[in-house]
């Protein structure tokens, strides 16, 4: 499972011109599920995202997690994070999980994040064409892949 996490001042996700998710200060997570992913990946990444220290303290050092700053998390599914681009000009998505598997793990990630945060974490709609707006803070953008934990 691959996540591109962006520290944001605000973010929204819309489907068919209707806003389906919105946060203020927090993390916007673009989530791609690959065929090799399991619930172990979901649990590891959920804990990692909630506890990753990417928010500034009074000395402008990244010492606080999203939970510690009482921020929010917005998740957006994005299978294109597993694009292979070495050959040709058209990306291949062979590593991305089949939609049925990907949706189950994505939904489990949302549940885990909400449980760890102690509140509902809004999200986009799996498989939909979405429009995402954000104000990146920093900018801080972290890429993390549960298949590369070392």
Per-residue pLDDT tens, the chain, 150 aa: give them: 999 999 999 999 999 999 999 999 999 999 999 999 999 999 999 999 999 999 999 999 999 999 999 999 999 999 989 888 888 898 888 889 999 999 999 999 999 999 999 999 999 999 999 999 999 999 999 999 998 887
Q: Which domains does the chain have, with CATH numbers?
A: 2-145 (3.50.80.10)
Phi first, then psi, for residue 88 (nearest 5°) are 70, -165
Active site residues: 80
Vertex 123: Cα angle to 121 and 126 (nearest 5): 140
Q: Helix (H, G, I), strand (E, B), or coil: what is residue 92?
A: strand
Rounded to whole angstroms, the Cα distance separating 64 from 85 reads: 35
Q: Against a cut of 0.85, is the pTM above it?
A: yes
The DSSP call for residue 115 is H
What are the angstrom distances between the C-alpha of 138 and each of 6, 16, 49, 60? 9, 30, 17, 11
């Amino acid at each position: 499972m691959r996540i591109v996490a962006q520290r944001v001042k605000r973010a929204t996700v819309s489907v068919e011109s209707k806003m389906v998710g919105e946060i203020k200060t927090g993390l916007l997570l673009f989530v791609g599920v690959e065929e090799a992913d399991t619930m172990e990946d979901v649990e590891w990444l959920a804990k990692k995202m909630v506890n990753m220290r990417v928010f500034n303290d009074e000395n402008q050092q990244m010492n606080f997690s999203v939970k510690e700053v009482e921020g929010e998390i917005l998740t957006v599914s994005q299978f294109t994070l597993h694009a292979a681009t070495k050959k040709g000009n058209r990306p291949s998505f062979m590593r991305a999980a089949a939609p049925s598997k990907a949706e189950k793990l994505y939904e489990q990630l949302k549940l885990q994040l909400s449980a760890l945060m102690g509140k509902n974490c809004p999200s986009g709609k799996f498989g939909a064409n979405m429009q995402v707006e954000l104000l990146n803070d920093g900018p801080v953008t972290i890429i993390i892949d549960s298949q590369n934990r070392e």
